[in-house]
Amino acid sequence: MSGDLILDVQNLKVDIPVSAGMLHPVRGISFSVKRGETLCIVGESGCGKSLTSLSLMGLLPKTAIRTADRLDFLGQDIRNLREREMAALRGVNMSMIFQEPMTSLNPAYTIGNQLEEVYLRHIERDRRKARDRAIFLLEKVGISSAASRLGQYPHQLSGGLRQRVMIAMALMCGPDLIIADEPTTALDVTIQAQILHLLAELQREFDMGLILITHDLGIVARVADKVQVMYAGKTVEEGPCEAVFDRPLHPYTSGLLKCIPVPGKTQRGAPLGSVPGIVPNLVGDLQGCMFRNRCEFAMAGCATLGDEPTRMDDGHAYTCLRPPEMALEPAE
C-alpha cells in the first residue's frame, strides 16, 4: 500500500580501515522511505552518498565495516543477514540503477540474456515467462520493437537506451525499493529529462519507493519528496523538498544553491556564488561541524557542535549553530 514504510535507517555508519587510520566516509545518517515516496540524497563527490547506497544493498567492499542502530527493510532487520539471504532480497525487493550503463551491462551477453537472467535466478525457471516479462518491461520503458532488441548487445544501443534497459532490469522482479545512483549523469540533458520522467512514471505505476542519489540540485528540486543534504558523511540538512529549497537553513545548502546559474535569475556575466575550500579528510577522530573550515559564518562553538539537529515544525531539520531566523541573512 502507498504510504507504508519500506526502509528505516537509524544512525548508519561505514568505516574503512586504511593505512593512515580509520576512514569514516559515512558517519551516522538516518532516513526512512515510504512506498511511493522519493528521497533524494544530494552532495558533492566524497560526501559518502554512494557508500550509503551500497551499504543498503550489502555491496560494500569486504574491508568496510557497517554499523547501524536500525536497518529495517520491509519490517525485517537486515543488519545481520547472511550473504545468501541478502542476495535473495537484492534484485527481488530492492534493486539498483547505476550511473554508467556501459560498464554495468555485460558486453558479452545480449540484452535479452541479461534481463531474463534476473527473472530466472529469482522468480522461476521459465524461459518463456522471463522473455514475456522482458518484452513487457522494455515496452514500458519506451523502447520500440522490444522483441527484436532482446537479441542485441549493449554496444548496439545508445547511452539513453542502455539506461532504459538498466531501468527495465531493475524492474524485472517487481521491487519495492529502487536505489538510483546518479542515473542520468552520463547522459545528455534531453535524455536526462526523459529518463527522470520515466522513473517518476514507473514509480507511480508500480508504487515503489525511490532513493535517488545525485549531485545535481536541479534534479532534486524537480523529483524529490524529501531531501537529505550530505556533507562529509553526515546529514547537514533534511526536510520536505519545498521547505529545503525555499528556505535553505544550512550554510552549505544555501552556498550550493548560489553556485548554480539559473537562466532568467542569475545576472549574465556576474560572478556566481562559490563555496571556497575543499572537502575535509575523513580519516581519524572527527569532531564538531566538518563544514566549519569552509563556512563564512564559522564561530568558536562549531568545533564542538553535536549531532543533534535543530528541528522545525514542518519536518525540516538542520545541523548548525545559527538560529533559523538568521539563516537567510547574509554574512556581515
Partner 1 sequence: MLKMTPALETDDVTCVFQVSQGFMKGIKPLRAVNGVSLKIPKGQVVGLVGESGCGKSTLANILLGLQKPTTGDVRYNGESAASFNRKDVARRIQPIFQDPYSSLNPTKTIASIVSLPLRIHQTCAPEEIDGKVHDILDLVGLPRRVAQSYPSQLSGGQRQRVAIARALIMKPEVVICDEPTSALDVSVQSQILNLLQDLKAELGLTYLLISHNLAVVEHMADRVAVMYLGRIVEEADSETLFADPRHPYTKALLDSVLTPDPRLGVPDTHLGAVFPNPIDPPSGCSFHPRCVSCMDICSRTAPKQDVDGPHMTECHLFGAEVKTPEPAI
Q: Mark residue 36 as left, alpha or beta (left: phi above 0; alpha: psi -120 to 50; beta: remaining).
A: left
Count the neighbouring beta carbons within 10 Å of the beta carbon of residue 153.
Answer: 15
Q: Which residue has the cell 556575466?
A: 269
The smaller minimum CB distance to partner 1, of residues 261 and 288, is found at 261
CB of 66 to partner 1, least distance (A): 26
* Dmax (CA) of the chain: 69
Q: How far apart are CA 140 and CA 167, in angstroms?
A: 10
Binding-residue total with partner 1 (CB under 8 A)? 56
Among the listed residues 11, 30, 266, 310, the single contact to partner 1 using CB under 8 A: 266
Residues in 156-175 that interact with partner 1 by CB under 8 A = 158-161, 164
Among the listed residues 260, 299, 303, 326, the single contact to partner 1 using CB under 8 A: 260
Q: Which stretch binds partner 1 (CB under 8 A): 96-104, 183-191, 202-210, 306-314?
A: 183-191
The smaller minimum CB distance to partner 1, of residues 127 and 204, is found at 204
Count the neighbouring beta carbons within 10 Å of the beta carbon of residue 127.
Answer: 10
Q: How far apart are CA 262 and CA 115, in angstroms?
A: 39
Q: How far apart are CA 275 and CA 137, in angstroms?
A: 43
The smaller minimum CB distance to partner 1, of residues 89 and 196, is found at 196
Residues in 192-231 that interact with partner 1 by CB under 8 A = 192-194, 196-197, 200, 215-224
The site string for partner 1 over 9-48 (x = CB under 8 A, - otherwise) reads -----------------------------------xx---
C-alpha torsion sign, points 100, 102, 108, 114: positive
Say if CB 215 and CB 44 are below 8 A apart. yes
The smaller minimum CB distance to partner 1, of residues 68 and 157, is found at 157
Q: Which three cell numbers stand for residue 13?
A: 555508519
Interacting residues with partner 1 (CB under 8 A): 44-45, 142-144, 158-161, 164, 188-194, 196-197, 200, 215-224, 241-242, 244-246, 255-266, 268-269, 271-276, 278
